[in-house]
A and B are shown apart, each in its own frame.
Chain A
Amino acid sequence: MRKIIILILFFLPAIMQAQTESPKRMIIDMTTGIKVNLFEPKFGNASDCLLSTKTISPFIKGRFSYFFSSQWGAFIDLKLASATHSGKDYSNIVPNLYYNLGDDFNENKSTTLHDGSIGGTYRIENKNWSIRTRLGIGIGEMLAKNPDFTIKEKGSNNLYYIRYTAGDSYMEVDELPFLNPGISLSYKYNNLLFNVDIDYTQFIQKVSYTYVLTDAYTQEVIEKRKFAPKSLSGNLEIGLGVSFCY
C-alpha cells in the first residue's frame, strides 16, 4: 500500500503533462491539515504500545522551494504537528501474573512535534494549474513515553519497578530520520497558488527502547534489555494551503 502511494505521488506529473508559462523561481508554501498515523500497534508488544499516538492530529507547515530551471528545484520544509499519546493498550506491558500498583502513564498527554526535511522537487504547470512532486529526507520527532511501573507479583510479597526509556534518554520525544515523498496540486491566481498538499512520511529507523526491571526491596537490577517495535512508523499528511510565488 505504501509503495503504491509513493509511486502515484512521484509519477503523477509525468502523466499530466501540460504547457508551461513564465514559471516563478521561488515559492513559499503555508499548509495546514491533518496527519494520519499509519503506525498500527501490535497487541502485546510493549514498544508499540508506548509509541502509539492518536490516529489523526493537526499539523501546520511551511516550505520554501527554489527552482533552478522551469521544472527542477530544491525545497526545505519545516513542520509542527500535534501528537497525543493513546495509552489504551498499556496494560499489556504488565504481565498477567502481576498487579500494577502505580505508574506515571499519562494517557492523554499532548505535545508538539517538529520535523524538517530537504529534497528535490519537480513541477509541471500550465496557465491555471500546477503540479509539484517532491522527494525529501529529514529528521522528525516521534512521541515516546518513558513510563515507570510498580508491579507486585500475585500471591507473594515480591515487588518490582519497571522502567521503559526510549532511545536511552528520559526525553519524551525521539528524533529519527525519514523519507518523505509528496505532491501539491495547485490552482494559480496571479502570484498566488491555492494548494491541496499530500505528503507521506516514512521513518527509516525504529525507536530503540530500554527495559529495566529492578527489585523494589534491594534496588538490584534483575533484567535490562533493549527492544524495538515490529514495524517502522509512517504518516500520511493531507493539507490545504496557499503559496506565494516570486
Chain B
Amino acid sequence: MKYLLRTMIVLAIFLGMGCDCEGYWDEEPEYKSCKLTDFQLYHMNNEGKQPVEGTSAGIKKEAYILRIDLITDSLIRANNYYYYKLEDGIIKLDINTINTFNQDYPAGADIRPCFTNYPRTVEQNIGDYTQKGDTIDIMTGSKIYLALRTIPQAGLHSFKVTLTLASGKKIEKETTPIALY
C-alpha cells in the first residue's frame, strides 16, 4: 500500500511536469470584424475626479479633454467577450483648430501635439496609437480620451477632427464651440 501511494505521487509529479500551458497563452484571440461608420465629438470637463461631459458654461482650459466616440456597425460594449477589429483601421488622427488656439497655433493649425492620450482607464477608453505609427483597429474600447496638455488662450474654441483610414478614406467632423476659461 505504501509503495502504491509513492508510485502514484511520483506519477502525478511527472504528469504535472508534462503539462504545458504555453500554447494556451499564445493563442490568437478571436476577433469579430466591424466597420467604422461615423464618430462623434464631445467636450469633457476634467476638473473633478473623473471626466464628465462639459456644459454650455464652458470648461477650465487646464482641464479640457476631447472625447472621440467611434461608431461602428457592431455594438461594442465594455468588457466584450470578443474583441472587435476594424476592417479598415484608422491610421491617422488629425486635430486642427478653427479659431486661434494661442500665439503658437493660429487658426487652422495642426494642434494634435497639444493633446495626449489620457493615461487613466475610463469607460470604454481606447488609446490613439496612430501617434506612434500604429493603426487603431482592435477595438478594446470605442472612446478616445485626448487630454489637452498645452494651455490655449481663453475664449471660444472649436476643433476639426479628421480620421484617415487605411484605405485612404477620410472622415471629418467639427466640434461645437466651447468656452475655455
Contact surface of A with B, Cβ cutoff 8 Å: 99, 101, 150, 152, 154-159, 216-217
Given A150-B120, A217-B116, A217-B119; A157-B63 close (CB under 8 Å):
yes
Given A216-B120, A217-B116, A217-B119; A157-B149 close (CB under 8 Å):
yes
A159 touches B62 (CB 8 A): no
Answer yes or no: B65 CB below 8 A from chain A CBs: yes
- Given contacts A99-B48, A157-B63, A159-B119, 15 further A-B pairs with CB under 8 A are A150-B120, A154-B48, A155-B47, A155-B60, A156-B62, A156-B63, A157-B62, A157-B65, A157-B118, A157-B148, A157-B149, A216-B119, A217-B119, A217-B147, A217-B149
Assembly CA distance A105 to B118 (angstroms)? 23
Answer yes or no: B49 CB below 8 A from chain A CBs: yes
Q: How many of B's residues come within 8 Å of A, CB to CB?
A: 16
Chain B residues with CB under 8 A of A217: 116, 119, 147, 149
Chain A residues with CB under 8 A of B119: 159, 216-217
A155 touches B120 (CB 8 A): no
Chain A residues with CB under 8 A of B65: 157
Return A189 CB to nearest CB of chain B, in Å: 43
Chain A residues with CB under 8 A of B48: 99, 154
Assembly CA distance A73 to B62 (angstroms)? 71
* Closest residue of B by beta carbon distance from A216: B119
Chain B, residues 115-131, CB within 8 Å of chain A (1/0): the string is 01011100000000000
Return A24 CB to nearest CB of chain B, in Å: 43
Assembly CA distance A196 to B49 (angstroms)? 54
Given A99-B49, A217-B149; A156-B60 close (CB under 8 Å):
yes
Answer yes or no: B84 CB below 8 A from chain A CBs: no
Chain B, residues 42-75, CB within 8 Å of chain A (1/0): the string is 0000111100000000001011110000000000
Chain B residues with CB under 8 A of A101: 49, 120
A155 touches B62 (CB 8 A): yes
Q: Which of B117-168 contact A (CB under 8 A)?
A: 118-120, 147-149
Assembly CA distance A101 to B148 (angstroms)? 19
5 A-B pairs (CB sep. < 8 Å)? A154-B48, A156-B60, A156-B62, A156-B63, A157-B65
Chain B residues with CB under 8 A of A154: 47-48
B49 touches A152 (CB 8 A): yes
Return B27 CB to nearest CB of chain A, in Å: 30
Given A101-B120, A216-B119, A216-B120; A157-B49 close (CB under 8 Å):
no
Chain B residues with CB under 8 A of A156: 46-47, 60, 62-63
Assembly CA distance A217 to B49 (angstroms)? 17
Return B46 CB to nearest CB of chain A, in Å: 5
Chain A residues with CB under 8 A of B118: 157, 159
* Closest residue of B by beta carbon distance from A215: B119
A154, A155, A156, most chain B CB atoms within 10 A? A156
Assembly CA distance A101 to B51 (angstroms)? 12
Assembly CA distance A217 to B46 (angstroms)? 15
Q: Which of B66-98 contact A (CB under 8 A)?
A: none
* Closest residue of A by beta carbon distance from B121: A102
Assembly CA distance A101 to B122 (angstroms)? 11
